Amino acid sequence: MPTLLFEIGSEELPASAVVAGARQLPELVTAQLGVEPARVYAGPRRLAVRVEGLPERTPDEWAKGPPVALREQAAAGFSKRHGVSVDDLDERDGFLGVTVRGKPLAEVLPDRLDAILRALAFPKTMRWDASGLRYPRPVRWLLARLDEAAVEGFGTTTFGHRFIAGELDVPRADDYERLLREANVEPDAVERDRAVRAGLDAHGDWSDPLGKLAEVVHLVEWPRVQEGTFAERYLGLPERVVVTAMQSHQRYFPLGANRFAFVANGGDPETVREGNERVLTGRLEDATFTFERDVARGIDELVRNLASITFFAGAGSFADKTGRLVQLVDELGGGEAPREAARLAKADQAAELVREFPDLEGYIGAEYARLAGYPEAVAKAIEEQYLPDSASGALPETDAGKILAAAEKIDNLRVAFGLGHKPTGSRDPYGLRRAAIGLLRLATEGALPIDRTTAFPDPELRDFVEERLEGLLDVPVEFVRAARKSGVRDLGAVATLASFLGALDDDRLEPVHTVFTRASRIAGSQGNGSVNPSLLTEEAEVQLARAVESEEARIAREVEEGDFESAFEAAATLAPVVERFFDEVLVMAEDAAIRTNRLRLLSELRDAVGALGDFSEIPR
């Protein structure tokens, strides 16, 4: 059972391509060779697999020929094609055929390995020569060893560390890993990840706020974690400016105070440290210069420049966006602080520092507001406007922050839907699902009142947002759907109602459910006109009309106040009255006027209970 080592050697791949390639290899190798690779190696200059226990030959296959009935006409040609005589053919299920011997592995490998190379898919690929092969960066060598044997069309050498070791002969598949390590290459990404973490741990308390570690693991083949320092005077900059200067471009890891760690791939440690320290100093110097210029212009001056910066093609400038935010904040019931924060929220889009480090948006605007003497509530709201920035990210802590954050998301959603940029399938380039979920979390966890009809006059967008509640709440979807069709206007209250309905015992839910569904089914679309009391002839319907009249107002009031328990109680009191009505009264009376009047009564009943949701969404 031979072992195969197959390596695709290339120029330095983007980290994302290394990850994408490594993820596909097991499946592609299994498809081509019938065996899952024992190891996958992945790094900037190589994607490789080690496959153990390969069969010596491909399996025998029965080649199906002509139907037995056509033996006379077709058998001769078929046998000739397979290089056998007609007597060698056998029969299966009414067809002639012949067993074709499997081929030796070495014979099929070149095609199979080539197929693996060509089947690898990446989001961005390039051409580099006349071969027309596409790959994220030029492929420079292909290595294949079947135990000690070469594979036709493939090389038998690899390359060690780019600057320390050169080309290496790999005599046997088994030698690959050891030879590479001797040549200063760690081919195993898991091992490099472990080495980087261990190296960072050795320097103390490191952090990675922008999440660079996974990329760094694929920027090096022989990681060596080193420490550097910078002049303490830069600690006078806002902390996140310093951290961003370290992380965003240079991919350094803050160690606290003026220390940082970086991951080198080789070189003389002292020389490499000095170089990296000089680069960081340059970046911090640049950041200081830019920061001071922004501060000198001041946040109010930055606001005045927003008219010349596009927010989004078709949705005007950041000045236009600011106008919309101010209005939205008012609609959300914001007071002085959120209003001021909205006016200043996008000022940092005109700041040079944000052009340099986009990650600082929000944060640095807040700093500039503080430096200009705006109240802390205003500054904090500016800082919190993009929260929550992930499905489980923290919410704004301040009320003003919540209002501004909600306005920001509502505007983004309205703009995107208004311009027809709706998410399709898994594609959501503008992060609209995240925005919708963030908004819902502000409404639910954040208890921020948001009127769903005024926030989203476009029913399609409102549905898009509210549908996200189904995944967000730990309540069966049918209760969410029922609550969405209630008379509740507040977004957060819809969620509360869904949870309330979902938590009801069956024997409490059942009577109200029955009242709604029966009334709804019989009343159908009967909605016009009010009940005429003089046409109510029977005692049971008079009773029902009276009950509906008093409970309808009560249910509506309790729903409005968010007291779903009391509203539901009120609805429940209708159940016995309704039951008597159906026992004693024939809705479909012969007299058309009386019939219509009864249907109207049921319609009112449905609407009264329906303020608590569309119970027909809940299957019984």
Partner 1 sequence: MLASLQAYWAERGCVVMQPYHTEVAAGTMNPATFLRCLGPNEWRTAYVEPVIRPTDGRYGENPFRFQHYYQLQVILKPTPDDVLDQYWGSLEALGIDLTRHDPRLVEDDWEQPTLGAWGLGWEVWLDGMEITQFTYFQQLGGMDVELVPAEITYGTERLAMFLQGKDSALELEWAPGITWGDVYRENERQFSAYNFEAASVDMLMRHFDGYEAECGRLLELGLPLPAYDQVLKCSHTFNLLDARGAVSVSERAAYIGRVRNLARNVARAYVESLDAHAAV
Residue ranges binding partner 1 (CB under 8 A):
11-15, 44, 124, 126-130, 136-138, 140, 162-164, 219-220, 250, 262, 264-268, 271-272, 274-276, 278-282, 285-286, 289, 307-310, 313, 316-317
Cβ distance to partner 1 smaller for residue 13 or 443? 13
Strand, helix or coil for residue 555: helix
Cβ distance to partner 1 smaller for residue 164 or 535? 164
| Tokens encoding 237 | 């900059």
Helices (H) and strands (E) in the chain, counts: 24, 13
**Tokens 């959120």, residue?**
338
Hey, which residues does 159 pair with through a beta bridge?
167
Report which of 214, 169, 165, 155 is spatially closest to residue 185, judged by C-alpha positions.
165
Alpha-carbon span 412 to 387, nearest angstrom:
14
Cβ distance to partner 1 smaller for residue 177 or 227? 227
Cβ distance to partner 1 smaller for residue 118 or 249? 249
Rounded to the nearest whole angstrom, what is the least distance from the CB of residue 239 to partner 1 in the complex? 21
Rounded to the nearest whole angstrom, what is the least distance from the CB of residue 279 to partner 1 in the complex? 4
Which letter, b or e, does each residue of 460-473 get, where b requires 16 or more Cβ atoms within 10 Å of its Cβ?
ebbebbbbbbbebb
Q: Which ranges in 430-563 belong to alpha helices (H)?
A: 432-443, 452-455, 459-472, 477-484, 491-503, 506-523, 539-561
Rounded to the nearest whole angstrom, what is the least distance from the CB of residue 179 to partner 1 in the complex? 20
Rounded to the nearest whole angstrom, what is the least distance from the CB of residue 126 to partner 1 in the complex? 5
Report which of 454, 428, 435, 412 is spatially closest to residue 315, judged by C-alpha positions.
412
- Residues sharing a CB contact under 8 Å with residue 130, sequence separation 6 or more, in sequence order: none
Cβ distance to partner 1 smaller for residue 112 or 137? 137
Hey, which residues does 474 pair with through a beta bridge?
none
DSSP string, 343-398: HHTTGGGG-HHHHH-GGGTTHHHHHHHHHTT--HHHHHHHHHTT---STTPPPPSS
Rounded to the nearest whole angstrom, what is the least distance from the CB of residue 249 to partner 1 in the complex? 8
CB 317: neighbour CB atoms within 10 A? 18
Rounded to the nearest whole angstrom, what is the least distance from the CB of residue 276 to partner 1 in the complex? 4
Cβ distance to partner 1 smaller for residue 130 or 592? 130
Cβ distance to partner 1 smaller for residue 286 or 330? 286
Cβ distance to partner 1 smaller for residue 184 or 207? 184
Alpha-carbon span 414 to 300, nearest angstrom:
27
Rounded to the nearest whole angstrom, what is the least distance from the CB of residue 221 to partner 1 in the complex? 10
Rounded to the nearest whole angstrom, what is the least distance from the CB of residue 235 to partner 1 in the complex? 18
Query: Within its chain, how far is the Cα of 373 from the centroid?
Result: 38
Cβ distance to partner 1 smaller for residue 64 or 140? 140
Residue 39 in contact with residue 86, Cβ under 8 Å?
no
Cβ distance to partner 1 smaller for residue 95 or 122? 122
Report which of 510, 526, 465 is spatially closest to residue 618, judged by C-alpha positions.
510
Rounded to the nearest whole angstrom, what is the least distance from the CB of residue 356 to partner 1 in the complex? 10
Residue type (1 letter), 96:
L
Cβ distance to partner 1 smaller for residue 138 or 533? 138
Strand, helix or coil for residue 154: coil
Hey, which residues does 605 pair with through a beta bridge?
none
Question: For residue 550, with 0-12 CB atoms within 10 Å meaning exposed, 13-18 middle and 19 or more buried, which class applies?
Answer: middle
Rounded to the nearest whole angstrom, what is the least distance from the CB of residue 199 to partner 1 in the complex? 15
Cβ distance to partner 1 smaller for residue 267 or 431? 267
Alpha-carbon span 603 to 605, nearest angstrom:
5
CB 112: neighbour CB atoms within 10 A? 19
| Tokens encoding 513 | 């459910």
The bridge status of strand 224-229 relative to strand 259-264 is: antiparallel
